[in-house]
Structure 1
Amino acid sequence: MSEVKQDILRLWEEKQLRITDEIQTAPEVLYANGSVIGTLGNFSASTGKAKSKKTFNVAAIVGASLVNGKVLGYTVEFPDDKRTILYFDTEQSPYHCQKVMERALRLAKLPTDTHPENLKFAALRQLTPSLRLEVIEQAIINTPGVGLVIIDGVRDLMYDINCAKESTDLIGKLMEWTDKFQIHIHTVLHLNKSDDNARGHVGTELNNKAETVLQVSRSKTDDTVSEVCAAMIRAAEFDPFAFRINDYGLPEIASGYVFTEPGKKAKDPYPYKELTEEQHREALAVVFVNGPIKGCRNFEAALKAGYAACGHSYSNNKVKGLKTFLDNKGMIRYENREYIYNPDFYY
């Protein structure tokens, strides 16, 4: 038997799974309004048309990742040994790339006169697609502690976005990197001008293989607002959120913004919004009876049990909405990767 065939047979043996194998659940690291949108070993994407504020949205993800905290609708919980962020921009000049960095740091409430040790940012605009791909691969291989990789302009890693082979090879690389190095990759891709489909054959492959595809779009009722929703998601779908750019040039939640869907009736208010302040205080006292709670899933389980103990039973999806509601009202805070009760809230 040839050496090549022996290698293939070894690979066949390696890749077999057995029912008795102990396979760990992929660690959840990135959430949007309480729903999982990113795990280690997978990749996700942001899509949107020109001027939809995709890069502002990605800056919020990076800002939350810099401090393992919460920015806009995103909450991040990377393990301590995977706190390094690699950011690759394939489209913008170094000047505009630096503006993106500054925006992320300000969202994270970090100083802008000192570069954070856990952020590596590269402007790859001047390189060829094949060289960009090689630089990204070598950076992932040779940078210790990588947890998140941002590729702003994934189509620029290939020559022809409609080439089936190039598209399959590129998406294959994303799957290889995420699985081999147990990282999460978040990519950015434009939508077609004529519809809401991701551009080219690579867009089709991305939709088929990504863990989550976020869609950022301009509001049809308020041109100062951008909406973020899940175009495709493997986990429970999250409630969409909207942001606008404030006077300081930073994205912030668009308070009071109402999502409209022509032809559909507005959803009834969530039941937890009808509870009185005292009812919330009673339930939260049960939720936090043992103090701060670490981890998004642990907190959701405690919320569900605590409110149910006080006579308010909610589904898992409604618990996610409840968590966002409590956060927006200032009843809870997320600090140092823990959920903390704030009894001094004003209802």
Structure 2
Amino acid sequence: MLSNEALAELWSQARLTATDKFDAPPVILRVGNSIIGTLGNFSASTGKAKSKKTFNVCAIVAAALSNDTVLRYVAELPDTNRKILYVDTEQSPFHCGRILNRIIRLAGLPQAEHPANLEFLVLRRYTPSVRAEIIRQVIYNTEGLGLVVIDGIRDLAYDINSPSEATTLISSLMQWTDERQIHIHTVLHLNKGDDNTRGHLGTELNNKAETILQVTKDDFDRDISTVQVMCIRDMEFDPFAFRINDDVLPELIEEYSFQKSTTSKSFDYHELSAEQHREALTMLFTESGSVSYSKLITALRKSYADVLGCSFGENKVKSLKTFLENKRMILKEGKSYRFNPDFSY
């Protein structure tokens, strides 16, 4: 337990007043005009197994290594923070060597020498607690560090579903990024059965990260992967796609057409924006000002599928109908329902 004197000091350090002035955190990574990463924060890439997450992260690191553009990632590390730490927790030295070589080639650097500002660690052989301690040691003893990539943050925890471990690990990321003024980018798998990040660790990551990028295999061409925003504090960027070329490097697909999937795909309608609900309901009630209950259920399924590219079953659409009524987005009048365009969401 901390002493009263120590707590008083922490209290003083944590105090914020209306007259305090702060500079905006330096931006080190963008996609277009969208801010992906800043110093003092952390972000993540997520996706299901074999979705090409590591290829995507290689592009991020290569952009930072060259302070240039790779795929759609634009890196802008300040001169005082040009060093990069890449940590792999899953793969063997042989396969990590391939990743390192891929990063160097993407950055356009000589393959015969190791980049002076890149530290690459292979931590597969260690326990989760030792991995975390090694990373902390490097972070606090490397001057000029700007970007840290942890490919396999799940391997810093013994139990991915432990609330206490998840809180401790995410708190460490927040402490390291704040005290060292660096950016940490992590990698975490999605659940096999849905598009949720795995375990309590994934939940904490979603709640605290500056940006979560989702890497997904194309439904129609398994050689193509897409990158889109799962959540972000800044404005969203348009999704982009890449393929692995003959040199085994990720290559941007300039003219890729993003198709809305008509296959069954679950989603949480609580997380939809007011504009998305409004678009679907406007489409539903365009031809008729009011519809009966039986027609409403069928029409809701169709309009939300058309607008969002998602389809769902009867139980889901009945729950959606109740949600829309409770939010007064649709109003019941007699035995019919009508759209309320003046709803407050």
Q: Secondary structure of 1:97's match?
A: helix
**TM-score normalised by L of structure 1:** 0.75
Deviations, residues 201-245 of structure 1 (Å, cap 9, x unaligned): 000000000000000000112111100000000000000000000
Q: Secondary structure of 1:81's match?
A: helix
Amino acid aligned to 1:213: I
Name the counterpart of 1:10.
9
Q: Secondary structure of 2:90's match?
A: coil
User: Are residues 1:51 and 2:50 paired?
Assistant: yes
Q: Secondary structure of 2:22's match?
A: coil
Name the counterpart of 1:139.
138
Tell me how large the CA RMSD over aligned residues is.
1.3
How many pairs were matched up?
265
Q: Secondary structure of 2:120's match?
A: strand
- 1:65-76 equivalent positions in 2, closer than 5 A: 65-76=64-75
Amino acid aligned to 2:199: G
Name the counterpart of 1:166.
165
Distance 1:201 1:120 in 2: 30
Q: Secondary structure of 1:85's match?
A: strand
- 1:87-236 equivalent positions in 2, closer than 5 A: 87-236=86-235
Deviations, residues 23-62 of structure 1 (Å, cap 9, x unaligned): 1111111012331010000000000001100000000001
Once the two structures are TM-superposed, the CA of residue 265 in structure 1 deviates from its matched residue by: 6.2
Name the counterpart of 2:37.
38
Distance 1:95 1:60 in 2: 20
Distance 1:112 1:168 in 2: 40
Amino acid aligned to 1:37: I
Once the two structures are TM-superposed, the CA of residue 117 in structure 1 deviates from its matched residue by: 0.3
Q: Secondary structure of 2:80's match?
A: coil
Once the two structures are TM-superposed, the CA of residue 10 in structure 1 deviates from its matched residue by: 1.7
Distance 2:225 2:109 in 1: 25
Deviations, residues 53-74 of structure 1 (Å, cap 9, x unaligned): 0000000001000010000010
Distance 1:113 1:264 in 2: 52
Shift in CA distance, 3/58, structure 1 to aligned 2, threshold 3 Å = closer
Name the counterpart of 1:26.
25
Distance 2:100 2:22 in 1: 37
Q: Secondary structure of 1:133's match?
A: helix
Q: Which has the higher contact order (CA 8 A, sep 6+)?
A: 1
Distance 2:13 2:224 in 1: 50
Distance 2:78 2:35 in 1: 15
Structure 1 residues 8-17 or 115-124, which shifts more? Answer: 8-17
Q: Give the % identical residues.
A: 57
- 1:291-306 equivalent positions in 2, closer than 5 A: none
User: Are residues 1:245 and 2:239 paired?
Assistant: no
Bigger-Rg structure (1/2): 2
Once the two structures are TM-superposed, the CA of residue 22 in structure 1 deviates from its matched residue by: 1.1
Distance 1:14 1:125 in 2: 38
Distance 1:162 1:196 in 2: 17
Q: Secondary structure of 1:26's match?
A: coil
Distance 1:35 1:125 in 2: 34
**What runs of 5+ residues in structure 2 fail to find an aligned partner?**
262-304, 309-345
After the TM superposition, which parts of structure 1 deviate over 2 Å for at least 4 consecutive aligned residues?
Answer: 262-266
Name the counterpart of 2:283.
none
Deviations, residues 114-155 of structure 1 (Å, cap 9, x unaligned): 000000000000000000000000000111110000000001
Distance 1:6 1:147 in 2: 34
Distance 2:9 2:117 in 1: 38
**What runs of 5+ residues in structure 1 fail to find an aligned partner?**
267-347
Distance 1:112 1:128 in 2: 32
Amino acid aligned to 2:242: F
**TM-score normalised by L of structure 2:** 0.75
Distance 2:219 2:36 in 1: 25
